[in-house]
């Protein structure tokens, strides 16, 4: 029987972590284990994780955290999720794993949805999904908050490139697709909130990610901090 490990990188996620951990607890397909890879949180993140029975390991930036979580995982499959995602469907994991196995994927993501957003947010997420759909046959993209992968493939490609500061998830999907079969799951949709937009402004984020995508396409992976990536959303930074 296929076993599933869930890995969630965190930094000061006390506000949102109970939500995803509670939803995972209610899933019809129960993960074999949940691993929280924590980047020195100063709030109650670790205590909350332990209260829900999750295993806590030392993390870092998302790529580092996912790698350390995966290194501690023992499941055949690893589902990388973020602390602020929402699993609306209690059969989310069951549907995802079933489709993943039927279609013989080795790495997969899902379409994105937004909760509590504006009409503009709905439109922008729709544009992101369409862009990914058009680009995936050429250069697969997978947001880090929803990547399902065979642990054997993760190990084969050496995990996430920890030298990449921004968009390490898309680099991961591209490298994984070269060693295994990549797909986008049709049976599930992953939802997130708008806390990033509310903290940093929608125009700023759109501009930032468009420029980042252009950098990746024409220059290469982002290994510098000119885009000022910040991990953790506990407060607004000026």
The tens digit of pLDDT for each residue in 124-158 reads: 999 999 999 999 999 999 999 999 999 999 999 99
pLDDT of residue 233: 62
**Alpha helical stretches, state H, the chain:** 17-25, 45-51, 62-72, 92-102, 119-135, 151-156, 168-179, 195-200, 202-218
Instruction: Find the mean pLDDT for residues 213-222.
Output: 94
Per DSSP, 166 falls in state B
pLDDT of residue 208: 87
Greatest CA span in the chain, whole angstroms?
49
The tens digit of pLDDT for each residue in 170-201 reads: 999 999 999 999 999 999 999 999 888 888 88
Percent share of the chain, pLDDT over 90: 87
More confident site: 222 or 232 = 222
Distance CA 84, CA 189 (A): 14
User: Apex CA 43: angle with CA 61 and CA 81, to 5°?
Assistant: 45
The tens digit of pLDDT for each residue in 46-89 reads: 999 999 999 999 999 999 999 999 999 999 999 999 999 999 99
Percent share of the chain, pLDDT over 70: 97
pTM of the entire structure?
0.94
pLDDT of residue 67: 98
Domains of the chain with CATH codes: 4-194 (3.90.550.10)
């Amino acid at each position: 029987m296929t076993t599933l490990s869930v890995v969630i990188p965190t930094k000061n996620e006390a506000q949102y972590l109970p939500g995803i951990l509670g939803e995972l607890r209610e899933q019809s397909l129960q993960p074999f284990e949940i691993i929280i890879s924590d980047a020195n949180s100063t709030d109650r993140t670790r205590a909350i994780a332990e209260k829900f029975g999750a295993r806590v390991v030392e993390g870092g930036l998302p790529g580092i955290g996912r790698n350390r979580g995966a290194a501690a995982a023992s499941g055949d499959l690893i589902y990388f999720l973020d602390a602020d995602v929402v699993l609306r469907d209690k059969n989310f994991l069951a549907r995802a794993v079933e489709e993943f196995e039927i279609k013989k994927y080795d790495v997969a993501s899902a379409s994105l949805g937004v909760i509590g957003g504006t009409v503009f947010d709905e439109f922008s997420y729709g544009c992101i999904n369409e862009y990914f759909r058009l680009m995936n046959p050429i250069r697969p993209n997978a947001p880090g908050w929803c990547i399902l992968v065979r642990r054997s493939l993760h190990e084969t490609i050496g995990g996430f490139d920890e030298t990449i500061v921004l968009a390490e998830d898309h680099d991961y999907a591209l490298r994984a697709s070269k060693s295994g079969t990549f797909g986008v799951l049709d049976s599930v949709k992953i939802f997130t909130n708008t806390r990033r937009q509310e903290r940093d402004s929608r125009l700023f984020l759109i501009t930032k990610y468009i420029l980042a995508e252009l950098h990746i396409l024409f220059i290469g992976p982002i290994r510098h901090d000119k885009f000022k990536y910040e991990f953790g959303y506990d407060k607004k930074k000026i």
